[in-house]
Amino acid sequence: MTYCVAMRLEAGLVFLSDSRTNAGVDQIGTFRKMNVFENPGDRMMVIMTAGNLSISQSIRQIVSEYLNADGVSIWTAQTMHEAAQIVGECIRVVHQRDAKSLEQFGIDFNVSIIFGGQIKGERCRLFQLYAAGNFIESHNENTYFQIGEAKYGKPIIDRVINPATPIDEAAKCALISMDSTLRSNISVGFPLDLLVYETDALAVSRFVTIDEKNQYFQMIRNTWGQQLKSVFEGIADPVWNAAPDTVSNVLSSQTNISQPVRVKPPASLVKNNTRSKQLQTLAEADCKKNQH
């Protein structure tokens, strides 16, 4: 599996991917999932992939060479939208070539792609492409995309990232998101590729490959865990059956009584319980008489 995340900000773009590919707990491989298409001064584009590795590698190779019906390639497209259309066409080329053969062996045509960057003359743009070659674009209401094992690293991004987020803060958030994923899912693993692109640079601004010994990532891993625990411990425990409005941490109040949905026991069990209660009541009565 994999985890990739990309963020589109006013200041630029942030891309982060892991590099683990596995077909089982004892068959783990490392394949880098980020590829850069760069012509400095004219364009800088990044593709990150998740899904079937052979499909992903085929698509990346075709993207680098493909010419559409108008003779336009990813290297000559005038806009990022046009470049995204070319990537989508490349997905369909591989699908048409391989999908039926894969299906005969019980293999789905499974691929997800994040594609983003900037072409001279327009703003930074970010797209997510699907196995059918269709895509959506990031806008201010949704400033990031994730593919692969997305659920573990999503909460921190939702709470932190917006278009005005400074680019280094966004990179930090992406790394925390990745750390959360690494801790919860063994199918995501080191090394990580982090690329930071500043608006109008038209070339890679900053890039680093991160292994488990990376100083900054280790600091994030340790500090984030400690801070989470500290914040957790600072939140008050719930108070049950309290008078309303007495304290702020009332979970249930005396005036707002609720009950669970109870399933009735079998009738025979109810009769037995009733008989047992009657016998218990008689025994208690006899005991009281003997005491007197």
User: What is the 3-state secondary structure of the chain?
Assistant: CCEEEEEECCCEEEEEECCEEECCCCCEEECCCEEEEEECCCEEEEEEEEECHHHHHHHHHHHHHCCCCCCCCCCCCCCHHHHHHHHHHHHHHHHHHHHHHHHHCCCCCCEEEEEEEEECCCCCEEEEECCCCCEEECECCECEEEEECCCCCHHHHHHHCCCCCCHHHHHHHHHHHHHHHHHHCCCCCCCEEEEEEECCCCCCCEEEEECCCCHHHHHHHHHHHHHHHHHHHHCCCCECCECCCCCCCECCECCCCCCCCCCCCCHHHHHHHHHHHHHHHHHHHHHHHHHC
pLDDT (tens digit, 9 = 90+) per residue, 209-222? 999 999 999 999 99
Distance of CA 221 to the CA centre of its chain: 18
* CATH (one of 3.60.20.10, 3.40.718.10, 3.40.109.10, 2.30.110.10) for 3-230: 3.60.20.10
Which has the higher per-residue pLDDT, 291 or 67?
Answer: 67
pLDDT (tens digit, 9 = 90+) per residue, 78-137? 999 999 999 999 999 999 999 999 999 999 999 999 999 999 999 999 999 999 999 999
pLDDT of residue 288: 58
pLDDT of residue 274: 61
pLDDT (tens digit, 9 = 90+) per residue, 29-83? 788 999 999 999 999 999 999 999 999 999 999 999 999 999 999 999 999 999 9
Which has the higher per-residue pLDDT, 243 or 162?
Answer: 162
- pLDDT of residue 22 exceeding 90: no
pTM of the model: 0.86
Mean pLDDT of 8-21: 94
pLDDT of residue 258: 82
Least reliable range by pLDDT among 61-65, 165-169, 242-246: 242-246
- pLDDT of residue 279 exceeding 90: no
- pLDDT of residue 185 exceeding 60: yes
Q: Are 188 and 18 in contact (CB under 8 A)?
A: yes
> What band does 23 get if pLDDT is binned at 50, 70 and 90?
very low
> What band does 25 get if pLDDT is binned at 50, 70 and 90?
low
CATH 3.60.20.10 residue ranges for the chain: 3-230
